[in-house]
Chain A
Amino acid sequence: MQTVFQKPEALTDVAMHYCPGCTHGIIHRLVAEAIDSLGIREQAIGIASVGCSVFAYDYFNCDMQQAAHGRAPAVATGVKRVRPENIVFTYQGDGDLASIGMAEIVHAAARSENITVIFVNNAIYGMTSGQMAPTTLLGQKTATSPRGRTVEEMGYPIKMCELLATLEGPAYLSRVSTHDSRHVLQAGRAIKKAFEVQQQKKGFAMVEVLSTCSVNWGMTPVNALQWMEENMVPYYPLGVYRDVTAKEGN
């Protein structure tokens, strides 16, 4: 018998605080596996955000820095410019990146900062117990939209990949999902690619990972994956929105 799956080295032994079935844990592991497979654990510097993933610094077995709410791309910009030999990534949720941190992410992308952004979109504010986020779907019920999100009152959910794809700056933009094992494996390949783009000094790379929040959605973890596939994937289409390495035929 040979071991074919085990905890990646880039994750610590600390038990994660996430709720049962939270796909943050899966995405943490995918990031750690990408770091291990590229052999960059000693070079990697992660920037943790604010939200459920605030404790990411306890879970990743590499150098970590905590940023103020939404400011992870700005902190990553500073770290990468001072230490260009390091591999710098941010790990941000949708409340952090698409709401309070909208200015930072747009300008980091426009400047094509050579950083990797892992954007976890679960369409709700998880940490503060389920308020409406900029990414909450139309009709979706949350603590602050109890009758469901309406266009008249709250406007439309923001599609970050499409929004950033209007800029010249980004080198790699991709949206992936975690609703079944096949898509989790695809997500892992996209995250690895986003690190490779930074290694090749191509510029800004972001992977948007669709994620669940079963507790605040009011579902079992298994049903939450199904809800995500049936409701989030149609509104947030999966795919590669920018890949400069493909244009060059690499």
Chain B
Amino acid sequence: MPRGEVIVNSELCKECSLCVAACPHGVLGIGKAINSKGYHSVEAVAPEKCTGCTLCAVMCPDVVLTIKRRSPERK
């Protein structure tokens, strides 16, 4: 089970790829679906690698990403 989870609000995404570049584990990629603004939204292409480090969300200019992490006591 992955340590973290990225939840994408696809409607807000503008396909800038800053989160894709920021992720150290290659979790994120640009998807094929198009949102109502006409952008290909980012999606978790390798969700099993997510550690919940939040670096992608820190670099996202549009607050597209919500990050969840497994709490340490449950490890």
Complex contacts, A185 vs chain B, CB 8 Å = 58
In the assembled complex, the Cα of A108 lies from the Cα of B5 at a distance in Å of: 45
- Cβ of A213 to closest chain B Cβ, rounded Å: 12
Q: B2-15, CB under 8 A of A: which get 1 and which 0?
A: 00110000011011
In the assembled complex, the Cα of A18 lies from the Cα of B14 at a distance in Å of: 9
Check B68 for interface membership: any CB of A closer than 8 A. yes
Check A25–B17 contact: CB distance below 8 A: no
Complex contacts, B11 vs chain A, CB 8 Å = 15
Interface of B is mostly: mixed
Check A5–B54 contact: CB distance below 8 A: yes
Check A4–B52 contact: CB distance below 8 A: yes
Check B12–A5 contact: CB distance below 8 A: no
Complex contacts, B52 vs chain A, CB 8 Å = 4
- Cβ of A181 to closest chain B Cβ, rounded Å: 4
Check A90 for interface membership: any CB of B closer than 8 A. no
- Cβ of B48 to closest chain A Cβ, rounded Å: 14
Check A6–B66 contact: CB distance below 8 A: yes
Contact of A4 among B16, B59, B60, B69 (CB under 8 A): B69
- Cβ of A63 to closest chain B Cβ, rounded Å: 21
Check A23 for interface membership: any CB of B closer than 8 A. yes
How many residues of B are counted as interface, with CB atoms below 8 angstroms from the partner's CB atoms? 29
In the assembled complex, the Cα of A27 lies from the Cα of B65 at a distance in Å of: 16
The count of A-to-B residue pairs whose CB atoms sit within 8 angstroms is 79
Among A5, A7, A15, A25, the one with the most B-chain Cβ atoms within 10 Å of its Cβ is A5
In the assembled complex, the Cα of A21 lies from the Cα of B57 at a distance in Å of: 13
Contact of B18 among A1, A2, A24, A225 (CB under 8 A): A225
- Cβ of B31 to closest chain A Cβ, rounded Å: 15
Check A222–B18 contact: CB distance below 8 A: yes
Q: A7-35, CB under 8 A of B: which get 1 and which 0?
A: 10001000110111111111001000000
Check A220 for interface membership: any CB of B closer than 8 A. yes
Check A22–B69 contact: CB distance below 8 A: no
Check A184 for interface membership: any CB of B closer than 8 A. yes
Contact of B59 among A2, A6, A181 (CB under 8 A): A181
CB closest residue in chain B, given A3: B68
Q: Report which A residues bind B (CB closer than 8 A).
A: 1-7, 11, 15-16, 18-26, 29, 180-181, 184-185, 214, 220-222, 225
Additional A-B contacts beyond A20-B16, A184-B59 (13; CB < 8 A):
A2-B68, A2-B70, A4-B4, A4-B52, A4-B67, A5-B54, A5-B58, A11-B63, A18-B61, A26-B58, A181-B55, A222-B17, A225-B21
> Can you show 21 pairs from A to B with CB atoms below 8 A apart?
A1-B70, A2-B71, A3-B68, A4-B52, A4-B68, A5-B54, A5-B58, A7-B63, A11-B63, A15-B62, A16-B61, A20-B14, A21-B17, A22-B61, A25-B61, A29-B63, A180-B22, A180-B59, A181-B59, A222-B16, A222-B17
List the 9 closest pairs (A to B, CB-CB), nearest first.
Answer: A25-B61, A21-B16, A20-B14, A5-B67, A20-B16, A1-B68, A221-B16, A5-B57, A5-B54
Q: Report which B residues bind A (CB closer than 8 A).
A: 4-5, 11-12, 14-18, 21-22, 39, 52, 54-55, 57-63, 65-71
